[in-house]
Amino acid sequence: MLIKNVVEHFKLITKHRWVVFKLCCKLGQPWRGLLHDLSKYSWTEFGEGITYYVGTHSPITEAKKAKGYSKAWLHHKGRNKHHAEYWIDVSAPNPTPIIPYQYAVEMICDKLAAGMIYQGKNWTKEYQLSYWENEREKQRNRINPKTEAFITAVLTKVAEDGIDKTLTKKNIRKFYEKYCEI
């Protein structure tokens, strides 16, 4: 079972990174896609990933159920700027700043790729917006409202028009300027 989990988890995170890379390339951010989630190959993250691997959702969820926390998640969010949690500083004057453009773009690609990988053939263009809307209340106070509006707008457009029409450099830049730039 352990060997199977090692192989399957490695394939899963590598496939996820590949999809993020392709989406980031569409948006003019190949470097972000190339560097995306490299920390998942560290032993802290990979070890927990194989221990709690299920294949249908993140092992982090299973670790949190079993232990009440995930060492992999604590490691991951502190090293990857495309996660809103990276930007939280409760003692700062602005505890949740607007996420800079390149990381906000990577965040969109990450969310879409995660849905595509975990849902497989069942993924639809509406899936990620639905997932985001269900998770939104949990995001309160963990993401800047402008960044939240940006993500919602992009995922709404993906649900309406699909990835190919929505994910263009011009479209994403316009959304970011509309919702995030001061």
Is 51 buried (19+), middle (13-18) or exposed (0-12) by CB count in 10 A?
middle
- Tokens describing residue 147: 């960044």
For residue range 1-47, list pLDDT tens digits in order.
789 999 999 999 999 999 999 999 999 999 999 999 999 999 999 99
pLDDT of 59 strictly over 80:
yes
CB under 8 A, 24+ apart: contacts of 152-159: 153/178, 153/179, 154/108, 155/108, 155/111, 155/128, 155/129, 156/129, 158/112, 158/125, 158/128, 158/129, 159/125, 159/126, 159/128, 159/129, 159/130
At residue 132, does pLDDT exceed 70?
yes
Amino acid 2: pLDDT: 85
| pLDDT of 181 higher than 90 | no
Token pair belonging to 180: 């995030």
Q: Which residue carries 């920390």 as its tokens? A: 39
- With cut-offs at 50, 70 and 90, classify the pLDDT of residue 70: very high
At 146 the pLDDT is 95
pLDDT of residue 140: 65
Q: Residue 154 carries which side chain, given as an amino acid letter?
A: V
Alpha helices (runs of H) in 83-144, residue ranges in sequence order: 101-119, 127-139
pTM of the model: 0.94
How much is the mean pLDDT over the chain?
A: 95
